[in-house]
Amino acid sequence: PALAAASLHLRNQAMLRRQAIEQALRAELEGGHCLALHYQPLFSARDNALVGAEALLRWTHAELGYVSPLEAISVAEDCGLIVPLGYWVLRTACRDASRWQGRHAHPLRVAVNISARQLGDPQFLEQVMDILRAEKLPADLLEIELTETVLMENMEAGAYTLHRLSQLGIHLAIDASGTGYPSPACLPQPPHLGRLKIARCFVRVLPAQEHSRKIVSATLALAHGLGLEVTAEGVETLEQAEYLVEQGCDVLQGYAFARPMPVQQFVELQASH
Ligand code: C2E
Ligand code: MG
């Protein structure tokens, strides 16, 4: 009975936290100032050039403290706030990316994570087009990142949306988060402009672990065979970076190069790069 009571208590605590997050998120979306995006720089493996950044949600709330993007997104998906939250993320990322163009020798793309509910939303396509137009961002400077789970949950409605997005010139990236691996059936096909991302869990154990070495070489062969690029995520050491470059990876992302940072800092990094 003590165990049951403790487990009930924990479940109640978790429920209360989710309710508090929902309330705080609602207030935030109605005009708060605590939601933010940080940008993690992406570097070309070929010549170390800065090629873009991934937008990552950051939220520190006065009472709740730091709420991780995974927790915020999961609550938002459950309570229906994912549509306004996703809109805010996409709009902010496109606005920032539009402003940072022209400061660098070549255009810098912004990658934005999209959740399952967003891709399944019938308004999504139109929202993306409206945002690009309003923020004056060329479509080929936007990359949409989807996890393999998001793809699998949206095979039919999603396929049409993805097709239209790529016709507009928007790039698609599959974030293989390590919870599963994308089946070839849901990989971007022409005219999709695509990329596969190798998850941190594989990169972390490189180059020592044989299984991860095989995952890397198989991913590179599959992606390059299909005309897709490969980004390795979570590159923390020079040794990992060297191995990935040697194997033919296209883009590197990780603490070894740069952590996610506020937009102002990203603009300063561009200037110095
Ligand atoms: P993700 O898309 O796989 O993003 C990469 C995550 O790895 C980020 O965690 C980033 O901070 C972290 N990271 C990058 N380099 C390194 C490294 O070298 N070492 C380590 N240990 N970590 C590294 P973060 O920001 O906590 O985001 C977690 C996940 O939350 C993201 O995974 C993405 O799936 C989701 N997410 C973040 N922002 C958004 C958003 O705006 N919308 C949606 N739908 N999902 C988001
Ligand atoms: Mg991502």
Q: For the segment 208-218, what is each residue's pLDDT rounded down to a tens digit?
A: 999 999 999 99
The DSSP bridge pattern shows strands 65-66 and 109-113 to be unpaired
Task: Please give the number of the atom of ligand 1 that sits closest to the Cα of 118.
Answer: 44
Please state, rounded to an integer, the average pLDDT across all residues of the chain.
Answer: 91
- pLDDT score for 102: 76
- What pTM did the predictor assign? 0.95
Q: Which long-range contacts (CB under 8 A, 24 or more apart) does 22-27 make?
A: 22/75, 22/79, 22/81, 24/61, 24/63, 24/64, 24/67, 25/72, 25/75, 25/76, 25/79, 25/81, 25/85, 26/81
In 45-170, the DSSP E strands lie at 50-61, 65-66, 109-113, 142-147
- pLDDT score for 262: 98
Rg (CA), the chain: 19
Mutate to test the pocket of ligand 1, among 56, 197, 239 (most ligand atoms within 8 A of CB): 56
Query: Which candidate, 215, 211, 205, places its Cα nearest to that of 240?
Result: 205
The dihedral built from the CA positions of residue 142, 146, 152 and 157, taken in this order, carries a sign that is negative
Q: Which residue has its alpha carbon closest to ligand 1 atom 6?
A: 234
Chain segment 28-70, per-residue pLDDT in tens: 999 888 999 999 999 999 999 999 999 999 999 999 999 999 9
Task: Please give the number of the atom of ligand 1 that sits closest to the Cα of 37.
Answer: 41
- pLDDT score for 149: 77
Alpha-carbon gap, residue 173 to 192, rounded angstroms: 10
Alpha-carbon gap, residue 185 to 165, rounded angstroms: 18
- pLDDT score for 175: 85
Alpha helices in 30-115 (DSSP H): 69-79, 82-100
Task: Encode the chain (273 residues) as per-residue pLDDT tens digits.
Answer: 788 999 888 888 889 999 999 999 999 999 888 999 999 999 999 999 999 999 999 999 999 999 999 999 999 999 999 999 999 999 999 999 999 987 777 899 999 999 888 988 889 999 999 999 999 999 999 999 988 777 777 777 778 888 889 899 999 998 876 555 566 666 666 556 689 999 999 999 999 999 999 999 999 998 999 889 999 999 999 999 999 999 999 999 999 999 999 999 999 999 888
Mutate to test the pocket of ligand 1, among 58, 82, 113, 149 (most ligand atoms within 8 A of CB): 113
Q: Which residue has its alpha carbon closest to ligand 1 atom 22?
A: 234
Query: Which candidate, 236, 233, 232, places its Cα nearest to that of 257?
Result: 236
Q: Ligand 1 pocket: which residues have CB below 6 Å?
A: 40, 56-57, 68-70, 73, 89, 113-115, 145, 175, 177, 200, 233-236, 253-255, 260
Query: How many Cα atoms within 13 Å fall on the side-chain side of residue 172?
Result: 28
Q: Which residues pair with 175 in a beta bridge?
A: 147, 197
Alpha-carbon gap, residue 228 to 248, rounded angstroms: 12
Q: Which residue has its alpha carbon closest to ligand 1 atom 16?
A: 234
Tokens coding 224: 């390059």
